[in-house]
Amino acid sequence: DAGVIQSPRHEVTEMGQEVTLRCKPISGHDYLFWYRQTMMRGLELLIYFNNNVPIDDSGMPEDRFSAKMPNASFSTLKIQPSEPRDSAVYFCASSLSSIGEQYFGPGTRLTVT
């Protein structure tokens, strides 16, 4: 398996623009997680899905953020409108079960100017 795939790897956008990050989990993994990593706040869980259903979105910072998982092999994280404080590395991870190793993707480095 190729592991968790994320695209794009780098995104530079202007404030106010819509940003869409994409993730393909490892085949057969039932759990998918979206994390944000910054120097100030560390690694934060934004939302996670089980069998394509959002389970906990309490980490989503505000209504500008939304996430979907239309099928078992694809998820998106959307920011609309984007702001400079959204600049961070966004990781997607997947796992076979609720308790166990989470496999992280390479991350998307987002810069909002």
Partner 1 sequence: GENVEQHPSTLSVQEGDSAVIKCTYSDSASNYFPWYKQELGKRPQLIIDIRSNVGEKKDQRIAVTLNKTAKHFSLHITETQPEDSAVYFCAASGTSYGKLTFGQGTILTVHP
Q: Is 31 in the site for partner 1 (CB under 8 A)?
A: yes
- 23, with CB counted inside 10 A (0-12, 13-18, 19+), is buried
**Region from 7-15, 19-27, 62-70, 103-111 binding partner 1, contact rule CB under 8 A:** 103-111
Q: Is 58 in the site for partner 1 (CB under 8 A)?
A: yes
Q: Is 90 in the site for partner 1 (CB under 8 A)?
A: no
Are 74 and 22 within 8 A, CB to CB? yes
Q: Is 43 in the site for partner 1 (CB under 8 A)?
A: yes
If one counts every other C-beta atom within 10 angstroms of the C-beta of residue 101, the result is 10
Q: CB of residue 42 vs partner 1: minimum separation in angstroms? A: 5
Q: Is 102 in the site for partner 1 (CB under 8 A)?
A: yes
- Rounded distance between C-alpha atoms, residue 17 and residue 9, angstroms: 18
Q: Is 50 in the site for partner 1 (CB under 8 A)?
A: yes
Query: Which tokens go with 73?
Result: 């092999």
Angle at 77 between CA 75 and CA 79, to 5 degrees: 160
Residues engaged in binding partner 1 (CB under 8 A): 31, 42-45, 48, 50, 55-56, 58, 91, 95, 98-102, 104-107
